[in-house]
Amino acid sequence: MSYILEVQGLKKKIGKRYIVNDVNFRVEAGEIFGLLGPNGAGKTTIIRMITGLINKTEGNVLIKGSSADTNFKESMNELGAIVENPEFYKFMTGYANLKHYARMSVKPITEERIKEVIRLVKLENAIHQKVKTYSLGMRQRLGVAQALLHEPSLLILDEPTNGLDPQGMKELRDYLKELAKSGTSILVSSHMLGEMQLMCDRFAIIEKGELTHVASMEDTDREAAEELREVKLVVSSAAEASVLPVIASAENLRVADEQTLTFMAKYDSMPEIIKQLAGSGILVYELTPAKKSLEDRFLELTRQKEEAVL
């Protein structure tokens, strides 16, 4: 397995209190990895330690297998980051800003590379406008372009969807997925769990400075499919449907009216339910299994941890 980033036993202590305590995770090549948790959970502090913006109390950060402590310049050369909001000279054009950052880079950046990142973030039509005319979404994309100028292996984004409207969120999400497919690893933090569910391959939940759970979205969806969830069924005859074996044996079966009933069932039992209904000549107008979101999963895990402490 090829890991672009390895965070080992990361701790940050302020006074007598650890605001980040023993955090461990890895980011694979070409994946989008999410740091999820409420505001104040420690996500930005973790990112600031990874990028060297603040000192860590304990732990180690490896970039492509090399310690950021002993090979700081080489390690930071592999990173591109936007921590909190991207800042630009608003009186200058987007292009002039990128040229300015290119001149400050340790690694030589060609004119062709600048044009390439502009195309990547789809800012060709606005790049020669002044940044003060940009929408928040456009400034976010310009920030991503700036972070990618030196061709980093890992892009780190702290709350990148803050302030974006739904269209801006979708554009950024789609772009980051394309970027990951091209081989760039992405570490993104957010408190917006629904948005991260659409974006990330794997995620870690951070709560009160501690990592409480790491999983892939695929595993999370599979676990949810195996759990019971409430199903709403609207058919031509609720009475006839309720005596079918697959429904009669279901938990919490309730007939709401002549056409509607609810019950608990596993997601993967839906095909058999439909098959029995169709085989009995019962018309199906609606079959709606409640779908667990990442937010639901987050609340479950948080509750389980609290109960374990008690």
SS (H, E, C) the chain: CCEEEEEEEEEEEECCEEEEEEEEEEEECCCEEEEECCCCCCHHHHHHHHCCCCCCCEEEEEECCEECCCCHHHHHCCEEEECCCCCCCCCCEHHHHHHHHHHHCCCCCCHHHHHHHHHHCCCCCCCCCEHHHCCHHHHHHHHHHHHHCCCCCEEEEECCCCCCCHHHHHHHHHHHHHHHHCCCEEEEEECCHHHHHHHCCEEEEEECCEEEEEEEHHHHHHHHHHCEEEEEEEECCHHHHHCCHHHHCCEEEEECCCCEEEEEEEHHHHHHHHHHHHHCCCCEEEEEECCCCHHHHHHHHHHHHHHHHC
| Model confidence, pTM | 0.77
User: What integer pLDDT is reported at residue 305 of this predicted model?
Assistant: 56
Q: To the nearest 10°, report the CA torsion of 209, 214, 217, 221.
A: -110
Residue 306 has pLDDT above 60, yes or no: no
Share of the chain above pLDDT 70, in %: 92
Give the CATH architecture of domain 3-222: 3-Layer(aba) Sandwich (3.40)
Per residue in 211-260, pLDDT (tens digit) is: 988 888 887 777 766 777 888 999 999 999 999 999 998 889 999 999 99
Average pLDDT over residues 172-177: 86
CATH of segment(s) 228-289: 3.30.70.980
| Band (22; pLDDT cuts 50, 70, 90) | very high
Confidence of residue 310 (pLDDT cuts 50, 70, 90): very low
- Residue 92 or 171, more confident: 92
- What per-residue confidence (pLDDT) applies to 167? 81
Q: Rounded mean pLDDT of 55-61?
A: 95
* 228-289 and 3-222 share a CATH fold: no
Residues 289 and 250 sit within 8 Å (Cβ to Cβ): no
Name which residue leads in pLDDT, 22 or 120: 22
- Domain ranges within the chain, ordered by starting residue: 3-222, 228-289
Per-residue pLDDT tens digits for 93-120: 999 999 999 998 888 899 999 998 898 8
